[in-house]
Amino acid sequence: MGKGRFEKPAQGRFPFITVVLAVICVVLVILLLQTCQHTPENSSESTVPETTVVKNEGSISIPGYEMLELKADSKQQTIALSNPPQNNCYFEISLYLEDGTLLWKSQLIEPGDATEPIVLTKELSKGYYPKSVLRYACFTMDTDRTPLNGAETKVTLWVK
Amino acid sequence: MKKLFALVLAVAMLASMATVAFAAENTTTKSTTLTTTVPTATYTLNIPENQEITYGEEKSFIGNVTITDGVNFEKGKNIEVAVMYSGKFEADNVSTTIPFTVLASQYKTADESSSFYGEIVISDGECLTFHGKSDTTVSEKAYAEFKNGSSSTKEAYVESLCISIKGENWGKALAGEYTATIMFTAEVVVEE
pLDDT tens sequence across A58-108: 899 999 999 999 999 999 999 999 999 999 999 999 999 999 999 999 999
Looking at A17-31, A114-128, B48-62, B79-93, which range is the least confident one?
A: A17-31
Q: Reduce the DSSP state of residue B168 to 3 states and report it.
A: helix
Q: Reduce the DSSP state of residue A97 to 3 states and report it.
A: coil
Counting beta carbons within 10 angstroms of the beta carbon of residue B12, is it exposed (0 to 12), middle (13 to 18) or buried (19 or more)? exposed
ipTM of this model? 0.76
Interface of B with A (CB under 8 A): 40-51, 63, 68, 72, 79, 181-188
Give φ, ψ of A122 to 5 degrees.
-150, 155
Cα B106 to Cα A16: distance, rounded to the nearest angstrom: 88
| B46:A59 CB<8 A | yes
Cβ atoms within 10 Å of B82's Cβ, excluding its own: 17
All residues of chain A having their beta carbon less than 8 Å from the beta carbon of residue B183 are 149-152
| The predicted structure's pLDDT at residue A11 | 54
Cα B137 to Cα B70: distance, rounded to the nearest angstrom: 5
All residues of chain B having their beta carbon less than 8 Å from the beta carbon of residue A128 are none
pLDDT-above-70 percentage for chain A: 81
| A60:B40 CB<8 A | no
Taking Cα atoms as reference points, which of A86, A141, A89, A83 lies closest to residue B49? Answer: A89
Is A153 an 8 Å CB contact of chain B?
yes
Cβ atoms within 10 Å of A97's Cβ, excluding its own: 16
Q: Reduce the DSSP state of residue B177 to 3 states and report it.
A: coil
Cα separations in angstroms, B80 against B76, B77, B128, B136: 12, 10, 6, 16
Cα B121 to Cα A30: distance, rounded to the nearest angstrom: 77
B interface test, pick of A54, A59, A139 with most B CB neighbours within 10 Å = A59
pTM: 0.74
B interface test, pick of A142, A149, A153, A154 with most B CB neighbours within 10 Å = A149
| Run of H or E including A64 | strand A59-65
| B72:A66 CB<8 A | yes
| A149:B181 CB<8 A | yes
Cα A157 to Cα B19: distance, rounded to the nearest angstrom: 54
How far away is chain A from the Cα of B163, in angstroms, using its nearest Cα? 14
Residues of chain A numbered 62-121 and touching chain B (CB < 8 Å):
62-67, 84, 88-89
Cα B119 to Cα B105: distance, rounded to the nearest angstrom: 5
Handedness of CA B65, B70, B76, B82 (dihedral sign): negative
| B184:A152 CB<8 A | yes
**Per-residue pLDDT for chain B (192 aa), expressed as one digit of tens each?**
778 878 878 777 776 665 555 555 578 888 899 888 888 999 999 999 877 899 999 999 999 999 999 999 999 999 999 999 999 999 999 999 999 999 988 777 777 777 777 788 899 999 999 999 999 999 999 998 777 666 677 788 898 899 999 999 999 999 999 999 888 999 999 988
Output the CA angle B114-B119-B123, nearest 5 degrees. Answer: 135
B22-25: long-range contacts, CB 8 A cutoff, minimum separation 24: none
Is A138 an 8 Å CB contact of chain B?
yes
| B181:A60 CB<8 A | no
Taking Cα atoms as reference points, which of B182, B124, B115 lies closest to residue B144? Answer: B115
| B40:A64 CB<8 A | no
